[in-house]
């Protein structure tokens, strides 16, 4: 059996509520109409009795020996004109002078007269000779004495007939209201059905549970940015990666400081947020832009280390290629009988390569940094430049002994050298560990820079697609707890070592 959809349940519930409300309202209106009709009948009867009691003709007739002769026609005329069912004039003891049925004249009045005998006009519902009626009784006072009584009334049957006519109109109005309410409810339900895709509460709860589980389980940051730039949804990973406050949802990107990170377009871009390297990708949809955020911090560090290894391998490949050329040259010289020139040529090239290796390895015993410097030296040579290791460089301890992360050092030194190689022809590198910490100084003969935001992601002088290297340097320096200074074309980085941390 198929469960009712949420829209169907809402329709049934709203129709039930509307029907109950309309039925209750109709009952109240009917009750009020009944009370109002009876009140109008009592008011008409009261007005008639007061008028008759004050009539001079009635007072004059009461002075005659047989008042009925004059009072009966008068009472019938008043009854017809006022639309009443009876007008009865009687003695104080209740003996009738008038009655719609002449046979009842001279008989006792059926009803209460006590309050009227004390000079008070009152109304009541009572069953008399004509049946149940709404009646009023008023005294006729002459010289301060109750001389006679007047009673006028309308039968309940007539009152009910008048009420039934009103009930038809009330019923029609109630049905019309119910129809309009049902039509409005149906329209609201149709809209709700479209919005909920005809799903029932169980299905919606299950979908919400799946959505919530997936949203909080994925390791990537997931955000939904509305068309007006408001952050409407973010998962736990996004809060952690972007360091978002608890009330981030519902706030604009400008307030959160993320307009550059999340509003940069739909293509994948790399951003530095705090100490993290984040890959941000956006995809536009009907509800706004869906943004995914991935943590590339570790990947970026590994990429830097891999770049160093690749550079070293590239330098070995270039050296092997050049060695093959030189070997052919030496062999040819030997074949030509010029052995002395062959020996001199071969030993000169070997001596130059060995000097470079000895100089780097002698100054920097850390294998990772030594490999990086050798690779960058080969790269600088291929670009037509020169990479020089400063004579004051001294690094006898391994990075692990100093409490430094090799990957962070590769990021710092590698990116500073790359930046210098692209801007100059001669680059000088100084690496030294001592009591004042670990010192990295990279200088070149280029124009240098003075921009205060050079270490911000996106700053570059090389065109689109750059602007990440110096930002990564600044980030790595902050993670290591160090400082960086720029003086024209000289970059100086100071990092605390383990002895200082202690």
Would you say residue 346 lies in a domain?
yes
Q: Answer yes or no: is 185 within a domain.
A: no
Question: Domain end: 162, 185, 202, which one?
Answer: 162
Helix (H) or strand (E) holding 409: helix 406-423
Which pLDDT score is estimated for 35?
A: 77
Q: Are 119 and 242 found together in one domain?
A: no
Here the CATH number for the domain that contains residue 26 is 3.30.450.20
pLDDT for the residue 12: 74
In a domain, 212, yes or no: no
Domain final position from 266, 295, 324 = 295
E strand spans, 350-482: 386-389, 426-434, 437-444
Mark whether 355 and 230 lie in a shared domain. no
- Are residues 324 and 396 part of one domain? yes
Asked, for residue 369, whether it belongs to a domain, the answer is yes
Three-state helix/strand/coil letters over 194-241: HHHCCCCHHHHHHHHHHHHHHHHHCCCEEEEECCCCEEEEECHHHHHH
Whether residues 417 and 401 share a domain: the answer is yes
The count of structural domains within the chain is 3
- Domain membership flag for residue 202: no
- Cβ neighbours of residue 305 under 8 Å, at least 6 residues apart? 368, 406, 407, 410
Do 261 and 325 have their domain in common?
no
Could you list the pLDDT tens digit for every one of the 502 residues in the chain? 456 665 666 667 777 777 787 777 777 777 777 777 788 888 888 888 988 888 888 888 888 888 888 888 898 988 888 888 898 899 888 889 899 888 888 888 888 888 888 888 898 888 888 888 888 999 988 888 888 999 998 887 777 776 666 777 777 887 887 788 778 777 777 777 776 666 666 666 676 666 666 666 677 777 878 877 788 778 777 777 777 887 788 788 777 777 666 665 556 566 666 666 677 777 776 777 788 777 766 555 556 556 656 655 665 666 566 666 667 777 777 777 778 777 777 666 555 555 556 566 656 667 777 777 777 777 777 777 888 887 777 776 667 777 777 778 888 888 888 888 887 888 888 888 877 788 888 888 887 765 545 555 444 444 444 456 777 787 778 888 888 888 888 888 888 886 544 3
DSSP assignment of 4-70, as one string?
Answer: PPHHHHHHHHHHHHHHHHHHHHHHHHHHHHHHHHHHHHHHHHHHHHHHHHT-HHHHHHHTSS-THHH
Task: Answer with the one of 276, 295, 314 that is the final residue of a domain.
Answer: 295
Domain for residue 172, yes or no?
A: no
Spell out where 93-181 has E strands.
122-128, 131-142, 145-155
What pLDDT sits at residue 63?
83
Residue 150 has what pLDDT?
Answer: 92
Residue with tokens 């020089």: 388
Residue 424 and residue 462 in contact, taking contact as beta carbons nearer than 8 Å: no
Answer yes or no: do 406 and 492 share one domain: yes
Domain co-membership, 322 together with 285: no
Does residue 190 fall inside a structural domain? no
88 found inside a domain: yes
What is the pTM assigned to this prediction? 0.41
**Claim to verify: residue 331 and residue 469 sit in the same structural domain:** yes
In this prediction, residue 139 carries a pLDDT of 92
Assess whether 129 and 230 both reside in one domain. Answer: no
330 vs 275: CA distance, rounded Å:
54
* Shared domain check, 309 and 261: no
Supply the range of the domain harboring residue 16: 6-162
Looking at the structure, tell me whether residues 243 and 383 fall in a common domain.
Answer: no
The dihedrals phi and psi of 101, each to the nearest 5 degrees, come to -100, 105
3-state secondary structure (DSSP) of residue 408: helix
Helix (H) or strand (E) holding 495: strand 490-495
The answer on 310 and 288 residing in a single domain is no
Report pLDDT for 297.
Answer: 63
Residue pair 443/425 in contact (Cβ under 8 Å)? The answer is no
Burial class (CB in 10 A: 0-12, 13-18, 19+), 209: exposed
């Amino acid at each position: 059996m198929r469960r009712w959809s949420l829209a169907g349940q809402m329709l049934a519930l709203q129709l039930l509520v509307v029907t109950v409300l309309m039925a209750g309202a109709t009952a109240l209106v009917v009750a009020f109409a009944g009370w109002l009709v009876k009140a109008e009948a009592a008011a008409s009867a009261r007005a008639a009795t007061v008028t008759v009691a004050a009539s001079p003709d009635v007072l004059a007739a009461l002075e005659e020996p047989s008042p009925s002769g004059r009072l009966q026609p008068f009472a019938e005329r008043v009854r017809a004109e006022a639309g009443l069912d009876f007008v009865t004039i009687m003695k104080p003891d209740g003996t009738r002078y008038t009655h719609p049925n002449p046979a009842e004249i001279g008989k006792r009045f059926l009803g209460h007269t006590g309050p009227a005998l004390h000079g008070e006009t009152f109304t009541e519902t009572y069953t008399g000779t004509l049946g149940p009626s709404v009646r009023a009784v008023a005294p006729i006072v002459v010289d301060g004495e109750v001389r006679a009584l007047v009673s006028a009334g309308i039968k309940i049957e007539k009152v009910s007939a008048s009420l039934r006519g009103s009930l038809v109109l009330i019923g029609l109005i109630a049905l019309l209201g119910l129809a309009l309410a049902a039509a409005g409810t149906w329209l609201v339900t149709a809209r709700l059905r479209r919005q909920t895709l005809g799903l029932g509460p169980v299905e919606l709860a299950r979908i919400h549970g799946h959505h919530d589980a997936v949203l909080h389980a994925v390791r990537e940051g997931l955000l939904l940015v509305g068309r007006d730039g408001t952050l409407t949804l973010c998962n736990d990973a996004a809060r952690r990666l972007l360091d978002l406050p608890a009330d981030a949802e519902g706030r604009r990107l400008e307030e959160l400081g993320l307009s550059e990170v999340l509003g940069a377009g739909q293509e994948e871009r790399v951003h530095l947020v705090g100490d993290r390297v984040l890959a941000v990708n956006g995809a536009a949809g009907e509800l706004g832009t869906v943004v995914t955020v991935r943590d590339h911090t570790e990947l970026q560090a590994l990429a830097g280390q891999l770049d160093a290894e690749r550079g070293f391998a590239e330098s070995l490949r270039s050296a092997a290629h050049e060695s093959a050329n030189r070997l052919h040259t030496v062999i040819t010289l030997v074949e030509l009988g010029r052995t002395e020139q062959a020996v001199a040529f071969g030993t000169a090239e070997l001596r130059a390569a060995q000097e470079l290796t000895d100089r780097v390895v002698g100054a920097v015993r850390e294998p990772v940094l030594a490999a990086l410097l050798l690779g960058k030296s080969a790269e600088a040579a291929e670009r037509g430049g020169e990479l020089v290791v400063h004579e004051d460089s001294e690094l006898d301890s391994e990075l692990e002994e100093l409490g430094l992360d090799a990957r962070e050092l590769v990021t710092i030194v590698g990116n500073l050298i790359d930046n210098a190689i692209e801007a100059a022809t001669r680059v000088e590198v100084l690496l030294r560990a001592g009591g004042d910490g670990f010192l990295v100084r990279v200088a070149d003969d280029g124009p240098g820079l003075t921009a205060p935001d050079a270490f911000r992601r996106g700053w570059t002088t090389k065109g689109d697609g750059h602007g990440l290297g110096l930002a990564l340097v600044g980030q790595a320096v902050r993670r290591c707890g160090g400082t960086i200074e720029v003086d024209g074309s000289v970059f100086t980085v100071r990092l605390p070592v383990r002895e200082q941390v202690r």
